[in-house]
Amino acid sequence: MPRETTPESCRIQARFAALREQGRAGLVTYMMAGDPDPASAQAILDGLPTAGADIIELGMPFSDPMADGPTIQVAAQRALKQGQTLKGTLEMLSRFREKDTETPVVLMGYYNPIHSHGVERFAADAAAAGADGAIIVDLPPEEAPELTGPFNAHGLHLIMLTAPTTDAARLPAVLAHAGGFLYYVSITGITGTRSADEAQVAEAVERLRRQTDLPIAVGFGIRTPEQAAATARAADAVVVGSALVDRIAKGDDPLGFVAALAEGVRAARR
């Protein structure tokens, strides 16, 4: 079952409550820990809240990111070549928490590094570093109890994914373990390849709202402030990953891009 929260472990709920009061959707930004190098990645992470990110997904580099497109695959390779490890990613988060105790941070990655680290140890170390939960993209609902027990014990959310292919028979199995918010993957396939139709996203979000009280974040294929604004008209939060990672790879101004995305999201319901 999803974990119960306490006042000490509810950054995600507090953020979505604040967004509701403001009458707007949130911006969730994804970056890969250690990319393009540890120092630059730390600076980007530390700057995301001021630039306009409401929630941060921090990627845990893995050598076989099967659900990700070329942009994030290459980012993981760059980070691994720079010596980024799971331990280093948690240390990066700890340094962020020295400056920011309010912005929710969700670790995102694959189960293999967690299994190698040890599930109980990962939950304890992630919570100590200041994580609010994790998205494990290759963990099916049937295997979720391997994490929910340790996560619940350490006040972490397991953020579950749902997709256009998740039918009415499958959705309850996903929701049974979901906490924090529900991540709707708006397209089939890998990250960063194409964009979803606005009307289809709105229809999907409405369908999900009938089944859960969790906030719904929509991601995959959102690359511009205009697309972010369109998604923000339906969703509780908009997730942008590959487009931001692209700018980091090119040496463009990633925080300026986040600011433009944030303005698009904030303007969507004015």
Q: Does 205 have pLDDT greater than 70?
A: yes
Give the predicted TM-score (pTM) of the model: 0.93
Among candidate residues 269, 256, 6, the one with its CA nearest the CA of residue 155:
6
Whether 63 contacts 86, CB under 8 Å: no
Predicted local distance difference test score (pLDDT) of residue 209: 96
Judge whether residue 194 has pLDDT over 50: no
pLDDT range class, residue 66, cuts 50, 70, 90: confident
Quick one: tokens of 37?
């190098």
The more confident residue out of 55 and 192 is: 55
Assign domain 7-267 one CATH number from 3.20.10.10, 2.130.10.10, 3.30.70.890, 3.20.20.70.
3.20.20.70
Residue 186, CB-side half-sphere exposure with 13 Å CA sphere: 31
146 assigned to active site: no
Give the residue-averaged pLDDT of 31-54: 98
Inform me whether the pLDDT recorded for 2 exceeds 50. no
- CA distances from residue 156 to 124, 174, 202 in whole angstroms, order as listed: 9, 17, 29
* 125 annotated active-site: no
Core vs surface per residue 4-23: b (16+ CB within 10 A) or e: ebeeebbbbbebbeebeeee
What's residue 196's pLDDT? 60
Strands 182-185 and 133-136: unpaired
Q: Which of 68, 125, 132, 236 is catalytic?
A: 68
Lowest average pLDDT, out of 76-90, 106-120, 162-176, 179-193, goes to: 179-193
Residue ranges per structural domain of the chain:
7-267
Can you give the pLDDT at residue 193?
Answer: 46
Q: Which is catalytic among the residues 54, 57, 132, 236?
A: 57
What value does the mean pLDDT take over residues 165-187? Answer: 93
What is the share, in percent, of the chain residues with pLDDT greater than 90?
A: 86
Model confidence at 67, pLDDT cuts 50, 70, 90, reads confident
Mean pLDDT of the chain: 92
Q: Do the beta carbons of residue 241 and residue 191 sit within 8 Å?
A: yes
